[in-house]
Amino acid sequence: MSSQPTPSRPGPDRRTSTLQKRSSVLPKPSSIVLDVSVLIAQHAQLTGTHAITVGANSVLHPHCKISSAFAPVVLSEGVVVYERAKVGLGIGDSGEVGGDSRRSSVASARDASSGRSEGTLLGNNVVIETNAVVEAAEVGEGTVIEVGAVLGRGCVVGKFCTVSAATVLAPNTNVPDYTVVYSGVERRLDKTLQARPELQEMKAFQHARQIEMFKKLVPNQVVKWM
Amino acid sequence: MAQPFPYTYYACDCFDSNTAASASRAAQTPADDEDARTFDPRSPRSNYALYPLEHLLYCEDCQQIRCPRCVIEETLNWYCPSCLFEVPSSVVKSDGNRCTRNCYNCPVCTSPMTVSSLEKPTEPSATGGPYILACPYCHWSTVEIGIEFEKHTGITNQLSRIANGGKTLPTQKERDKERERRKEAEARGGIGGRDILSGSEDSPTRDGEGNAAPPGHDDIFSNLSAFYKAQMQAQTPSNPFSPHDLNFSSPSTYSRIMNLYSSTASKKQKREKPALMREAASALEGLALHDPASDIAAIERIKKEGWASTLSPARKLAQLNPHVRFDSELRPTASLLCTKRGKRCRSCRHILSKPESKITSTRYKIKLLALNHIPRLSLRALSPATTTTTPGPSHPPFNYNALRPGIPIHFLLHLSNPLFDPIRVTLATPSTTPGAIASRITILCPQFDVGANTDVWDDALSSSLSPIAKRSGDAQFEAGKIYDRGRNWTAVVLEVVPGFVTPLGGKRDEADGDVKGGGEVDADLLEIPVFVRIEFEADVSVEERGLGDSRGSKGEKERREEAFWTVLGAGRIVDV
């Protein structure tokens, strides 16, 4: 598939013969806007009808799934999405499997107007760890969504937050800046990070080094999606 | 102990060996005398006596099983669970039962904390930057209480010198010196005008600020302990065994000696009783008066910072100073040390289990398990379908939770012998189970042999036990015959007729829908008490030989016999 000489994308019917076995049956996104420095590993899936935007230096690990089936997805700079993580509305349990139920949830997505435009926005340097499910409306910069966490739709998570492993956030929860959500329902303010901006800088620095490492180790298949 | 059916519990002898128990038993009704001989798994006392075989140890000297209540534990060594460093017990006695190296737990979420450096990667400092303790889970760190460390080792020492907010804490020596100095200053200042709440008058520089802040928890403690030590020293004579020791520092000795040498009447009124021990009378001695201003300050603080800044009771009590109220007063808690323990028999002090002294190894040097000395009984249901052909998928598995009353059910009791000698087993069980629901139990073969636990090859080469041909698949259970046997195991059949949960055609006494017989919990549980007696001939060990025996007799066998009660949990009877 990567040996296509023509830069224009062929239509869907001609594409099916060269489909990878594991890609989803949803139509390819109408527009994927990728920065040139993005790293997309093989077997990553970007699906859906709405727009997907991926900012500079982002890393999408193998088998991660970005779905814009119901709403556009925007990943800012330096976002790292680990393996088997899912980003996008309707990708978790709130979106049922199956075609006709998809129609109904699309309709409900349009009806349930929460006053903000539907979509998922991940801020700079956000890390979505393995097996997390992010249907949230917005995740602020520097936040870490740890392994297996589930963010319901419409969640708004502030910046430099930490959602610890296996935490489930109900839909439409609001997590203020610098909050650590741990132990199920407990929350506390991460005063260390709040009080020391140099710690934030250090985090950003280490994050950048990690992205460099990924670029060296993970083969890049971004040309497939350009 | 909830286990899935079928299970086997063994009764330890400790439940009825006391004289106190027999005295109380005499007061019981005659009906209970019957139960005193047979084991009643339903009595409340048997709750404490029944254990699965894996929980039991065996004492070879007493030749009895030992349950966890009959053993004495003793600690062998202490170690910290996070750094796995062994702490000698002398250090534990002096320094306490917490790790004194770098292992701290987060006061908020109790997870282990890591030492991290605050240095900026762009400007490396000499020592690696100031260090902090940070919790990787809830992201609490010592930055929140204002503590930073210079080195990344010896955190305990550094922590004991810093109070929250960065002020230094005095060490024990400094405190003593300061206390002495203040005492002299007060004594010099005179007795009059000594108000407890205000400081002493002629105190130079430091005391100005020292009295503004109330003495901290550690200060009060050190003052009080020094005061009590001084009091106790004054009370007890330095050397009680030498009355001629002229030690005048102790008032009691002084007065005693003076009384010896001056017994004239004129001196009698001068004879004073030795000074009684008194309580602390000043702040320097550890008296901490409650100051209502501190309460008001705390309330103002709650108003300003909100409820979230106060501590929950669990977090408070885990702190060294349980009277802190606010989360700026939290301190990291050192990890508690864990122990490695050995177990001894309570009566003869024989070591039953002893782990290796190496901390990281989980093996045992000595391990006297009941598994290796007591035959293992296990129960299995024998439905007619399973005896014929191999049960196909159409046969449902036996449901232990739904035994039907009135219909005889056959169970297979499997005994396996761990000893190296063949044993003769005698089983006994009351004909009906004790309790509200009487089920009839019959053991078809109450006396049989079980082979020795020899090697597989030994058995194949010799043919002491003639191999019994595999059962030809008939469903006849003959009384007096075993069902099957193997190298070191034998299986016999148990026939059980479960009783009826509600009496047949009887009236239901309970108005509510609970139809369990007698209103007992678990009355429909079918538990079969079985008394097992094994006899075998064992080699006489060296310690057991009497003094009169000649040393030359080796290979002499002695008859040994052991007996214990077991309870076989067979299932639950449904109400038909």
Q: Who has greater pLDDT, B259 or B353?
A: B353
B309: confidence class by pLDDT, cuts 50, 70, 90: confident
Distance from C-alpha of B279 to C-alpha of B296, rounded to nearest angstrom: 28
Task: Lowest mean pLDDT of A169-178, A203-212, B160-169, B381-390, name the range.
Answer: B381-390
Q: Which residue has the higher pLDDT, B431 or B252?
A: B431
Rounded distance between C-alpha atoms, residue A166 and residue A150, angstroms: 7
Q: Are B382 and B337 in contact (CB under 8 A)?
A: no
What total of structural domains would you count in chain A?
1
Element holding A54 (H helix, E strand)? strand A52-54
Q: Is A197 contained in some domain? A: yes
Task: Decide if A61 is inside a domain.
Answer: yes
Query: How confident is residue B122, by pLDDT bands cut at 50, 70 and 90?
Result: confident
Domain ranges of chain B: 1-23+33-55+373-384+398-464+476-502+521-544+555-575, 57-96+335-368, 100-171+296-334
Residue A162's H or E segment, with its range, is strand A162-163
Supply the range of the domain harboring residue A44.
26-225
| Pairing label, strands A127-128, A138-139 | unpaired
Q: Report the pLDDT value the prediction gives residue A212, as an integer from 0 to 100.
A: 93
Among A192, A201, A205, most B C-beta atoms within 10 A, so best to mutate, is: A192
In A32-129, where does DSSP find H-type helix?
A: 99-111
Taking a C-beta distance cutoff of 8 angstroms, is the pair A156, B106 a contact?
no
Please indicate, yes or no, if residue A217 is contained in any of the structural domains: yes
pLDDT at residue B25 above 50? Answer: no
- ipTM of the complex as predicted: 0.74
Out of A216-225, B71-80, B236-245, the most confident range is: B71-80
Is it the case that residue A22 has pLDDT exceeding 50? no
CA distances from B217 to A129, B223, B364 (A): 44, 10, 44
**Would A5 be classed as within a structural domain?**
no
Q: Which residues contact B143 (CB under 8 A, 6 or more apart)?
A: A191, A192, A195, A196, B118, B132
Q: What is the pLDDT of residues A102-155, one digit of tens each?
A: 444 444 444 444 434 678 899 999 999 999 999 888 999 999 999 999 998 889
**Which of A177, A181, A191 to mutate against chain B (most B CBs within 10 Å)?**
A191
Where would I find the H helices in A112-190?
none
Structure confidence at residue B190 as a pLDDT band (50, 70, 90): low
**Residue-wise pLDDT tens digits, B317-333:** 888 888 888 888 888 99
Is B449 or B25 the better-scoring residue by pLDDT?
B449
Could you tell me the CA-to-CA distances from B283 to B196, B219, B229, B431 in Å, in that order? Answer: 7, 10, 16, 77
pLDDT at residue B505, as a whole number: 55
CB contact under 8 Å between B139 and A205, yes or no, is no
H or E stretch including B301? helix B292-305
Residue B488 has pLDDT above 50, yes or no: yes
- Residue written as token pair 């550890």: B286
- pLDDT confidence of residue A70: 86
pLDDT over threshold 50, residue A1: no
Mutation test of the interface with chain A: which of B122, B125, B139, B310, choosing the one with the most A Cβ atoms within 10 A? B139
Residue type present at position B299: I
Give me the residue from B109, B121, B144 closest to A202, CB to CB: B121
CATH topology for B1-23+33-55+373-384+398-464+476-502+521-544+555-575 is Immunoglobulin-like (2.60.40)
Instruction: Give the CATH number, domain containing residue A190.
Output: 2.160.10.10
Q: Best-predicted range by mean pLDDT among B233-237, B477-481, B566-570, B571-575?
A: B566-570
B548 confidence band (pLDDT: 50, 70, 90): low
* Domain presence at residue A183: yes
Check: pTM over 0.90? Answer yes or no. Answer: no
pLDDT value at residue B553: 52
Mean pLDDT score across all residues of chain B: 76
Chain A residues near residue B143 by CB distance under 8 angstroms: 191-192, 195-196
In A, which residues are within 8 Å of B139 by CB distance?
162, 180, 188, 190, 192-193
In sequence order, the 6+-apart residues with CB closer than 8 A to the CB of A225 are: A32, A34, A40, A46
* A149 within 8 A of A132, measured Cβ to Cβ: yes
